[in-house]
Chains A and B, each alone.
Chain A
Amino acid sequence: MIDLDEMREKWAEHDRKLDTSIRLNRQILKTLQVNKARWALRRMAVILILGAIATLAVIVPLGAFIYANISEPRFALPAAALDLIAIAILAAQIAQAAIALEIDYSRPVAAIQKRLETLRIVRIRYIQGIFLAAALVWTPLLIVSFKGFFGLDAYSLFPGAWLAGNALFGLAVIPLIIWLFSKFGSDRVMDNLAGYNLKAARGFLATLSEFEDEQA
């Protein structure tokens, strides 16, 4: 009969044998030490911070646009909608960067794995949010950019029914996108977009909680 405690002794023998049977290739280790290769989590945080700066560069002029057109709700409201979406994107970017920067691999395993899994889920939600927002922003973006960049009034350039139809189409597409996410959410396409599988991330997070909480 073999048990874990007996195996502990065998393992100790194995451990002693490893002292002499393995050698660390110091040349490769040295190469790793001087390697200026990217640190993926930090790189991800830097990309997100740059993205946040770019998003700020959208939020600020939109704010100015809203202020300039405050007396004309037909321009101010679409701009406010765009601004809200941009602020939500900025918040998500900051949240991801903060989580990524906080990850310290020398902290206990359960805590770090939980952080990594949380980052995965936030990232998936962020990608999904971008898709949903993309369906909604088309019409307000047209109205605001025509007015902001060219001083043109999209309401008089395009028939009202056409603009309303586009806005409604954007709304109607949302349930379709949600359905597609639920249908193909764990599919390779979504995994490649977000980098991860939401179902797997949630599953592992549940396993982690169970692993942490179980007492007897």
Chain B
Amino acid sequence: MTTPEAQERFQALVDGHKKIVYKVCHSYCRNPDDRDDLAQEILTQLWRSFASFDPRYRFSTWMYRIALNVAISFYRRERVIERHVAPSGGQLLQVIDDQAGEPEEIERLYRFIEALDPLNKALVLLYLDGNSYQEIAEVLGISETNVGTKINRLKKAMKEELT
């Protein structure tokens, strides 16, 4: 599925969900250059998998799965997935309004997420993004009960960390 229509449709869908890529990259990479590399890895993988996307399912769930799988692999210095994107010479996700920067609380939250292991990073990110336990379970492939247990544990850890 590489028709111009498919490309356009993909671009429109990704544009509508670009925040997912931004937040995943910010949670898994401290370095801005790495973030951009990761964003390119994610977008490349999304495009490669787009042919198998079933429109009956939510695009965001599908996108989360791919973005998180790529990010975890990238984070762990995955070498199976070598970098296969040549430097583009530009930023894929451009911040066009950075006057105020991120509020302090959001910065602290990103730092808290950054300190977590790659699987719990994914969990917190999905929770903060307003996903239900069922949706989180679908993306991560664990049970809803398990999601609840982990969220409660992370809430406790966060209270200790950020108070």
Contact = CB atoms under 8 A, between A and B. Distances in A.
Contacts of A23: 93-94, 96
Contacts of B139: 108-109
Contacts of B73: 113, 116
Given A104-B52, A207-B117, A25 B84 contact: no
Nearest to A26: B11
Contacts of A196: 79
Interface in A83-113: 100, 104-113
A214 interface: yes
A29 interface: yes
Given A21-B96, A25-B91, A215 B72 contact: no
B7 interface: yes
A15 B129 contact: yes
Interface in B1-40: 2, 7, 10-11, 14-15, 18-19, 22-23, 40
Interface in A11-45: 11-12, 14-15, 18-33, 35, 37-41, 44
A196 B73 CA distance: 12
A160 interface: no
A153 B50 CA distance: 60
A204 B70 CA distance: 16
Interface residues of A, number: 61
Nearest to B148: A216
Interface in A193-215: 195-196, 200, 204, 207-208, 211-215
Given A14-B106, A196-B79, A25 B141 contact: no
Given A14-B102, A24-B14, A41 B94 contact: no
Interface string B90-114: 1111111110001101101100000
Given A15-B19, A25-B93, A37-B85, A215 B143 contact: yes
Given A28-B92, A40-B81, A2 B105 contact: yes
Nearest to B102: A14
Nearest to A21: B97
Contacts of A214: 146, 149-150
Contacts of B145: 215-216
A114 to B, nearest CB: 9
A4 interface: yes
B142 A195 contact: no
A72 interface: no
Contacts of A37: 44, 84-86
Contacts of B149: 214-216
B133 interface: no
Interface of A: 1-5, 7-8, 10-12, 14-15, 18-33, 35, 37-41, 44, 100, 104-113, 116, 119-120, 195-196, 200, 204, 207-208, 211-216
18 contacts: A1-B163, A4-B127, A4-B155, A11-B109, A15-B129, A21-B95, A25-B91, A32-B88, A37-B84, A40-B84, A105-B69, A107-B65, A110-B119, A111-B141, A116-B78, A195-B80, A214-B150, A215-B143
